[in-house]
A and B are shown apart, each in its own frame.
With several copies, the nearest count.
Chain A
């Protein structure tokens, strides 16, 4: 059912763990089956110097987190932000149809971690849906991690 690549990642997931002094942390719960993924990033010079994650989820979810961590390590924040679930699934050699939603988890958690980093460092919220620095997000995207 799963591709070779998925099985490889699952058997030896890369970059598992916690970065204690992370620059950004992003956590998502999977609304479909109720699992959870947390990404930690360390940023240096606009690049993701280190990335780690924790995953409570299925084989696909674990493989996705490992794949995402590999895809973004060393990349600029802009590059990392452009990561989509489609890219992740493709890098994994495809995912079974009913497991496609798991590939969201990885991209979403990473996006939240970057969002967290940007909020912290710039002292400002990069969300385009707020009118000024003090007002809240008007579209709700900050609650779902959908930062574009």
Chain B
């Protein structure tokens, strides 16, 4: 057993040695600016475009349909603001879902002060958006809708959405569709042609690329106003000197992520199910959050009654176990997680949120270690909890 059992891969992943190795030359040796007109600059531009092709390959896109960004959040902002501003004055509605990442939700809300209406699609108790809700709104007045944005997979509850159906519905009505695939790309197969989306968000650190990287897929001819206005980088769609080493890291990680994805997923599903089954068996009064089957392979999420998540995470970390929580106390806003709220989880139950996100370096032994420690930690906290009655 290694001394640290890290199961918070949705929050951060270590960068693999071969990814770091690939990046290194671009800090000091091949440092030219890709926008310069001499050979060193062309070479740098060529390197950037090679990575574009590698990222495109990961999601079955064309290289020129990939824009590099500095994060998944930036890609979400660019997708939403870029496409909504592109139809400014013609459309005035945005549709999104109740379990989106803040970067999607707040980008949409930003338009409210410019006079737009934002419609939020509800989810069921396992976090799934039913296309019929979208159908109803579109049927009513699709011509006003600038964009529909529904995430591919949720990092807090692991649920995967019916993106193909939602995208098809949008296209039936001639409406643009974006999906935030920050939690899925690199972790499950993502094929933009199968999904049929117009815009798709990628976050680098979700699959072993360095922090400070992300990308946006935009289907050819999708109109986008830049989020970062300025020069000619990314063909005028995103200004700022290209982060060449970061982009090389993203491209290399994208190539690595394609290798043995199916095997990796099978392994993770097994570990995940071992963890979920074990927790449900050993910890009384625990609720599994998200969808039981339509979920990310390495993702196990729970709400444990009568304990608070931040305290739980702390106690777990003292045993060397690193996980996440959506507890109100751990949030900056000190409010119930909007995702858990949207599922209808009561506020007190949501306080006991704990999320384990595994990757292929995790082992069955580590899972068993968690299954040994978690019940102890929960028991300790419950022993001092005024709302625990057993």
Contacts and interface: CB of A to CB of B under 8 A. Distances in A.
Q: Is there direct touching of A and B in the complex, by C-beta distance under 8 Å?
A: yes
Interface of A: 1, 10-11, 13, 16-17, 27, 32-38, 53-59, 61-62, 98, 101
B329 A33 contact: yes
B285 to A, nearest CB: 13
Interface in B308-354: 308, 310-311, 314, 318, 327-330, 332, 334-336, 347-348, 351
Contacts of B335: 33
A34 B350 CA distance: 10
Please give me the 6 A-B residue pairs with the lowest Cβ-Cβ distance, nearest first: A58-B329, A54-B386, A33-B328, A38-B386, A58-B310, A1-B42
B223 interface: no
18 contacts: A1-B37, A10-B311, A16-B384, A33-B327, A33-B329, A33-B334, A34-B347, A35-B308, A35-B351, A36-B386, A53-B384, A54-B385, A56-B351, A56-B386, A56-B388, A57-B311, A61-B311, A62-B384
Of the four ranges (under 10, 10 to 19, 20 to 34, 35 or more), the interface on chain B belongs to 20 to 34
Contacts of A38: 386
B306 interface: yes
Interface in B343-377: 347-348, 351
Interface of B is mostly: loop
Nearest to B331: A33
Given A38-B386, A56-B388, 9 more contacts: A1-B42, A10-B311, A13-B384, A17-B384, A27-B386, A35-B329, A37-B386, A54-B386, A57-B311
Contacts of B308: 35, 56-58, 61
Nearest to B388: A56
B387 A59 contact: no
A26 to B, nearest CB: 11
A33 B348 CA distance: 9
Nearest to A36: B386
Given A32-B334, A98-B332, A55 B384 contact: yes
A34 B351 contact: yes
B311 A59 contact: yes
Contact of B384 (A54, A58, A98, A101): A54
A56 B307 contact: yes
B383 interface: yes
Given A16-B384, A55-B386, A57-B308, A34 B314 contact: no
Interface of B: 37, 42, 45, 306-308, 310-311, 314, 318, 327-330, 332, 334-336, 347-348, 351, 383-388
B348 A34 contact: yes
Contact of B330 (A56, A58, A101): A58
A54 B307 CA distance: 11
A17 B383 CA distance: 8
Contacts of B318: 11
A11 B384 CA distance: 13
A21 to B, nearest CB: 17
Contacts of A54: 384-386
A55 B314 contact: no
Contacts of B332: 98
Contact of B314 (A10, A16, A36): A10
Most chain A CB within a 10 A radius of its CB, from B348, B385, B386 = B386
